[in-house]
Amino acid sequence: MQIFNFVENIKLYSENLFILISYVLVFNLINWIFLGSILNIFGIYPRKLLGSPGIVAAPILHGNFQHFVSNAIPFYWLSLLMIAIAGELDYYVILCIIGLISGLLIWLFARRAIHIGASALITGMYSWLVCYTIYEPSLLNGIILGILFLYFGFIVIGILPEESHVSWEGHLLGLIAGMMTYYYLYDLMNYYEEILIGITEIKIWMMRHMMF
């Protein structure tokens, strides 16, 4: 049943993801062709106040079509995996948190350069999925973990400094952001659930006593 739901979720949400990625591509095409990539100045520039808007904007901005495609493909498939196991609403919450944490870490610790692209977000999604599948063991999660290592293991290689124009520290900090999101959000959600249970028990107790 779990695997069946997983496949159904992929069928259901793949079109929405394709539309989202298409919108981002159109935005970048306008930036590249008509604006001469001028909007890329709104990427993350570490430890400068003017560079802080990039914490939000950087995952959308890309240097060229090759850069975009290299991020869009893993983003699409990792998103499907996340939605299939976490649900659409939780997926967007997790995605936003990973994006904000990774962006903030880049702004705080990365080298002085304009950092653009969704690479940090993608490595964060990857590490979140790895953490989830390890700490929530099941047949489905075991299959997903195997897929992550077999087909997306190249993401981890991206944390190694190779080319000067590649934000390898963004990849590394994104990996850390995904782990932080899993552990702290997991604890927060458990705490939130405990509060809801407590409130429900109080309501039941009050209703019982009010009846008498």
Domain boundaries, the chain: 2-211
d(CA 137, CA 70): 30
pLDDT tens figures, 179-212: 999 988 766 666 555 555 666 666 566 666 655 4
**Which tokens in the block code for residue 34?**
């008509």
Q: What is the pLDDT at residue 115?
A: 95
- CATH code of 2-211, in short, is 1.20.1540.10
Give mean pLDDT, residues 118-143: 91
Most confident of 7-11, 110-114, 198-202: 110-114
Residues 6 or more apart in contact with residue 48 via CB below 8 angstroms? none
Most distant CA atoms of the chain, gap in Å: 74
With contact defined as beta carbons under 8 Å apart, do 88 and 77 qualify?
no
pLDDT band at 1 (very low <50, low <70, confident <90, very high): very low
pLDDT tens figures, 28-63: 999 999 999 999 999 999 999 999 999 999 999 999
Please state, as a whole number, how many other Cβ atoms lie within 10 Å of the Cβ of residue 190. 10
d(CA 30, CA 107): 26
Q: Which residues are 115's β-sheet partners?
A: 44
